[in-house]
Structure 1
Amino acid sequence: MKKRWTMRRALLVLCIASVVFALLLQTFLFHQSLRRQIRAESISDHEISLNKMQTDLSNFIHTIHLDLTTRVNLVQNFLKTKELPVGFKKKLNEFAALLSITRSNFHLVTVKKQK
């Protein structure tokens, strides 16, 4: 038995097809906009984290620099007075070891904002 295409059936198929197409298009566009939004938020979060790490590292290096400067000034003052306290040679050796350990070059990387 062959079913005939009536106008009613054709309109029903056309409406169902257009609704399915609209839903698929809406899903695709929603996915694209959500992906862009998540990417932008992720980049923003990573940028904030990198800036915080850069600040922490800079503060750490500054603290080490101040500590070393203080120690160098202390050694220079001791050498100028030529009065070496007891156990000072041991302290000088520890200081030399400390200088050899912390004598690395630090390169801070700045975070550039993307347009």
Structure 2
Amino acid sequence: MKRWMQHIMPPGTKCMCIVAIVVHLDFQSRGIGTALVREGTNQADQDEVLCWVQSSEAGRRCFENEGFEEKERLEVDLDKFARGLEGLEERDAERKWGTHVWKYMVKFPRQVD
């Protein structure tokens, strides 16, 4: 995280980091996540601070819709960290964890009148 912050933020830059937005499956696709993100980014705009998030693919669209842009990504082969997967045959592929991608996304403050 420190490397990422140094990469996108000049020294002295103030920022807001969205740590987590989670909406229960029964209530997804109703605009709740978007409303939560918008509430935070409106405050960031008023405070004139950069806003960033480390998003999963599942959350990417919500953040893009609110003006975030992907600046960098981190892809991790989770199978390297899983115990008991060594030497699994191709037929056992459903037991593998696969690759996970985190997207580092940024929204610069917009001018508030």
TM-score, normalised to structure 2, is 0.23
- Structure number with greater Rg is 1
Relative to its length, the structure with more helix (as a share) is 1
TM-score, normalised to structure 1, is 0.23
Relative to its length, the structure with more strand (as a share) is 2
Identify which of structures 1 and 2 has the higher relative contact order when contacts are C-alpha pairs closer than 8 Å and 6+ apart: 1
